[in-house]
Amino acid sequence: MLDKGIVLPAHIAIIMDGNGRWAKQRGLARTEGHKRGAEVFRNICTYASRIGIKHMTFYAFSTENWKRSETEVTALMNLFRNYLFEMEEREAENESGGYCIHFLGAREGLPSDLVKLMDQAEARSANKTHMHVNIAVNYGGRAEIVHAAKLLGEQIKAGTLQPQDITEESISALLYTANQPDPDLIIRPSGEQRLSNFLIWQAAYAEFYYDDVLWPDFTPDDLDRAINAFARRDRRFGGVQQQ
């Protein structure tokens, strides 16, 4: 349960970790853990919208995840495909939920049918305003910054930008999260305590919350505990607290 009177974070990002270990503990294939994790994603997304969170980012598939077995990668792509089909089939529910969907990451390398479905989902939800849902797929924080740097280079080459005019704001405007606030709170379940190349530019002043629960067991109560912990933190952004 959320503490009374707390200020909610505007943007929560979650590293959905622990699916494989959850399955292994139960003698199941890793793919079963990912299926359960996808269900939890939907549940947490719905709950976050209900309590008034305006931006959520979920780390679904990193650029490093291509190193996993072909079977597991195929299963993950199929889960993603099924989710996109469900979004299309449940358009009325998405309409009432007001989810504006964004996909963070490189489209290159993803199956062409997935890219088409991603484009369609973003287009259908572009005017929704209740909650922005970012799904990071084929995403890496360093690759995102490299991508932005290349775009800056193109602007300089075209003569529309001078190197001395590059600012933090001009870089942020070319990231996948352009026009969205940086995450206030980054949650990583499963007991691991690292960022894993996730939103490394945007996380400059984020608060981190680690939880031992594996993602397939993550519940709205766990999210509430993370938000309550966030609300008790003293965020000074490099300044000094005024007496």
**E runs forming strands in the chain:** 11-15, 55-62, 99-104, 131-139, 185-188, 207-210
Catalytic residue among 65, 78, 197, 228: 65
CA 206, 211, 216: angle at the middle one, nearest 5? 115
Reply yes or no on whether 17 is catalytic. Answer: yes
Q: Does residue 78 carry a catalytic annotation?
A: no
Of these residues, 17, 182, 184, 222, which one is catalytic? Answer: 17
DSSP 100: E
| Helix orientation angle between 30-51 and 70-89, rounded to the nearest 10 degrees | 40
* Dihedral sign for Cα atoms in the order 213, 205, 49, 42: negative
Question: Nearest CA to 216 among 7, 9, 20?
Answer: 20
Q: Are 92 and 85 in contact (CB under 8 A)?
A: no
Active site residues: 17, 65
